[in-house]
Amino acid sequence: MDATIFKQNTLQRKCLLTMGGLILVNIIVWALAGITAREYPELLGSMVVAYTLGLRHAVDADHLAAIDNVTRKLIYQGMLNKARSRAALQAQQQKEKEEEEKNAQGIAQQEQEQEQDANAIAAQEGEREQVQEEEKMVEDEDQWTPPVCVGLFFSLGHSTIVIIASIALAVTATAIKDKFAAFGDTGGIIGTSVSAGFLFLIGFINLVVLIQVGQELRRVQRTGEYHYRDPVKEMIDATAAVTDDIEANVHSEQQKEEISTEIQTKKDMDGQGLKEEDKSIDHQVNNSKFQAGGLFARIFRPLFNLIDRSWKMYPLGVLFGLGFDTATEVGLLGIAATNAQAGFPTAVILIFPALFTAGMSLIDTLDGILMVNAYGWAFVNPVKKLWYNFVVTLMGVIVAFVVGLAELLGLLAEQLDLEGPFWDFFSMLSDNFGLIGMTLLSIATLTLMMAGAIQAASVSVPFTDAQTHGEITVDVGAGTYSLLVDTASANTWIGNENPYKPGPQSKDTGSTVTVSYYGYTFTGTEYTDDVVLGTATVSLQSFGVGTAQNFQDQDGVLGLGPTRLSAGTVSSGGEIPTVADNLFKQGIITEDVFAISFQSIAGSDEVSGDITFGEVDPTKFTGDIYCIPVTDTSPASDYWGINAAFSYGDTVLLAQTAGIIDYATTALTLATNGFTAFKQQTGAAEDTVTGLLTVTDEQYAAMQPLVLQFSGGSISIPPNGLIWPRSKNSEIGGVEGTIYLVVTDHGSSSGQGFDFTIGYRVLQRFYTVFNAGTNQVGIATTSFTDSQAN
């Protein structure tokens, strides 16, 4: 499968243009609303209600189910098309190579048969043309643009019915008013009563929803678990095996004909041409999430199979709108506004569906764009939607009750001639609905800004370069400790250099902790206490207290590997959540993800780094970010392991195999056969003092990048990123001026399920992301990638 989906610049440009246009539309609609409110200030409160209803309805089950699933379906189809095209191209190129070899042999054996030679050359040219067509197909797939307008077209279709229904209701109400003008006063009373009753009804409904969402938020923060099934992750997992099998086997001479036939079958992308496993995958993406969607999501489920372009969501949105759930809301609001005060023209009434449509389109489009970005980086977190739903629902409850209460009590005071400070206050409110509307609009804006701040919560801490590894400073209990960051273990422990100083929340669990590493073993006692990283405090974090043999200069280790690595390390049994896991579970960050980046310090050969928990920062990487699923190959699958191949120049060092990403390992380690090939290609010699490879200045000048390839993408490690910093040679016992390589022997031949380790010195050159929520690793280049700092 492809590890990256979209070109970042294309995606950002489309997102900015789409959202910029929608924001402009919202501004224009509110400008028209402001003009209307100058003449009819009493309607401003209802305008805010209409806009809020649009914002709120945009996150209803039907909308999210439709937009999210279609967005994911279109992304998946683009990915699968690209993967199949690449597999087909590889197979065709292999076939061409084999045909060329056969032709060369035939020419050597039959030099006198000129006609046969001509035919062979013609056939060869035909093959080249076919390859060019395949290459163009792959290029077209690479230019496939992200479906950022799925939500926009759906909401526009949905709003079409809303607007039509609102026009009909407004015209009908106006006609009735014209024929029965004598009943204007009575109509005003009825209209205000209907308006207030409707607002109270909406308020109570939203209050129930608010309680439910609040309960779910508290449960998620407490447990870190969200009852959300990700059909696309299941789909990609199922597809990966099929595509990887194709790509792994295209080089097999014995199976080339069988594979070629299989690829041709897989290239047929219509409903009838998909293989059974692909049909099953499509069935999953079109059905699983709809089980939790609304009524119309289930009724129109088969139509999703027909949608292969964003614009096709418009007619589907129209069909959804026929449910009249939103049309009824805006229609009732229109009736209430029409009857509240006699004489409102139809054009004035239509400002309500316009505001409703503007709000709903903005959020539905944003939802689709977030899905595209989230899936493009593979960092989906539904907790953000919970926060948004909670905040907007709370805003809707406040607006509905405030406006409804003001209308009802103001009407009672007017009709019953009630006097006194209490009734005078609500009569004043009824006479100043414009002021109420502006106040509510300000509260709504502030609330949404607060929601945005909440859902973007993250924690960033410095990551200090210690040459062979990186260190982070944390407070545990009452002490401060410098810990080695290890992405290949999940246990945190302290006490090796500085003793543990218990804090007020410290607790000895009575369990023992034993963690085995390469070269040393830690043994100690399990405690729980507060752990502080930057501005964040993790409560009741489990960690070990003790010492480790053959481990010097650090106070301990901060384990950031997958939680599964902690199984069996504590005598009480079970797995121990990492600090990153608990940051997420305790609601301090809103995404179970952390990212590591480095940059050079101007004017020196030093570097500075940071670890960001809770978000991916697009300002810290360049180009594409590749999101790679954690491998299924054991034992690398227990770690942050990936499938990858390594090549140097024209030489394949390691074919597609499994290995891990580990910030606690200094060098890039390759299986013995790959290491030997690299040594031969560079002409490097082994230094007996440091144990590292060395190259001469001439050999270094001739070195080429080492290419890391994974399905769908590749990154190049420049020669300068493969050498030890020359100004730091003394720290490893090296000789000044000597060039040492940080590529070492893994210690075993390939095929063991753990054939390489991408270590600290190489990882410094890249932006790396570790996502526990999706079990994926992200890799991207940075401004430091091609630096000559070493």
User: What is the Cα–Cα distance from 667 to 687, expressed in whole angstroms?
Assistant: 15
Q: Is residue 586 over pLDDT 80?
A: yes
* pLDDT for 722: 96
User: What is the Cα–Cα distance from 96 to 90, expressed in whole angstroms?
Assistant: 10
* pLDDT for 168: 72
pLDDT digits (tens, 9 = 90+) for 425-453: 777 766 665 456 556 556 655 655 665 55
Q: Residue 417 catalytic?
A: no
Q: Where are the domains of the chain?
A: 8-77+148-455, 459-597, 621-781
Q: Is residue 521 over pLDDT 80?
A: yes
Contact 492, 570 (CB under 8 A): no
Eight-class DSSP state of 146? P
Contact 779, 710 (CB under 8 A): no
Looking at per-residue confidence, does 126 or 536 come out higher? 536
- State the burial class of residue 656 (Cβ atoms within 10 Å of its Cβ: 0-12, 13-18, 19+): middle
State the pLDDT confidence band at 788, using cuts at 50, 70 and 90. Answer: confident
SS3 label, residue 593: strand
User: What is the Cα–Cα distance from 199 to 482, expressed in whole angstroms?
Assistant: 57
Contact 374, 455 (CB under 8 A): no
The mean pLDDT value for 64-90 works out to 61
Q: Is residue 9 over pLDDT 80?
A: no
- The mean-pLDDT minimum among 85-99, 226-240, 544-558 falls in 226-240
SS3 label, residue 189: helix
* pLDDT for 237: 42
The reply to whether domains 459-597 and 621-781 share a CATH topology is: yes
User: What are the beta bridge partners of residue 134?
Assistant: none
The mean pLDDT value for 273-280 works out to 36
The mean pLDDT value for 134-153 works out to 59
Q: Residue 662 catalytic?
A: yes
Q: From the candidates 555, 624, 662, 745, give the one annotated as an active-site residue.
A: 662
- State the burial class of residue 117 (Cβ atoms within 10 Å of its Cβ: 0-12, 13-18, 19+): middle
Q: Is residue 531 over pLDDT 90?
A: yes
The mean pLDDT value for 450-471 works out to 78
State the pLDDT confidence band at 52, using cuts at 50, 70 and 90. Answer: confident
The mean pLDDT value for 137-154 works out to 62
Cα 501 to chain centroid distance, Å, stands at 39
pTM, rounded to two decimals: 0.57
State the pLDDT confidence band at 253, using cuts at 50, 70 and 90. Answer: very low
Look up the CATH superfamily of 621-781: Acid Proteases (2.40.70.10)
pLDDT digits (tens, 9 = 90+) for 467-476: 889 999 999 9
Looking at per-residue confidence, does 122 or 732 come out higher? 732
Looking at per-residue confidence, does 67 or 287 come out higher? 67
* pLDDT for 583: 93
Q: What percent of the chain has pLDDT over 70?
A: 59
The mean pLDDT value for 222-234 works out to 45
The mean pLDDT value for 347-374 works out to 78
Q: Is residue 254 over pLDDT 70?
A: no
* pLDDT for 748: 95
Looking at per-residue confidence, does 305 or 423 come out higher? 423
Q: Is residue 287 over pLDDT 80?
A: no
Average pLDDT over all residues of the chain: 74
- The mean-pLDDT minimum among 52-56, 510-514, 645-649, 726-730 falls in 52-56
Highest mean pLDDT pick, 187-191, 343-347, 462-466:
462-466
Q: From the candidates 486, 555, 638, 745, give the one annotated as an active-site residue.
A: 486
Q: Which fold has domain 459-597?
A: Cathepsin D, subunit A; domain 1 (2.40.70)
Alpha helices in 558-659 (DSSP H): 579-585
My answer on whether omega of the bond before 635 falls inside 30° of 0, hence cis, is yes
Q: In whole angstroms, how large is the CA radius of gyration of the chain?
A: 32
The mean pLDDT value for 594-602 works out to 84
Highest mean pLDDT pick, 53-57, 112-116, 584-588:
584-588
Given phi > 0 = left and psi -120 to 50 = alpha, else beta, which region is 574? left
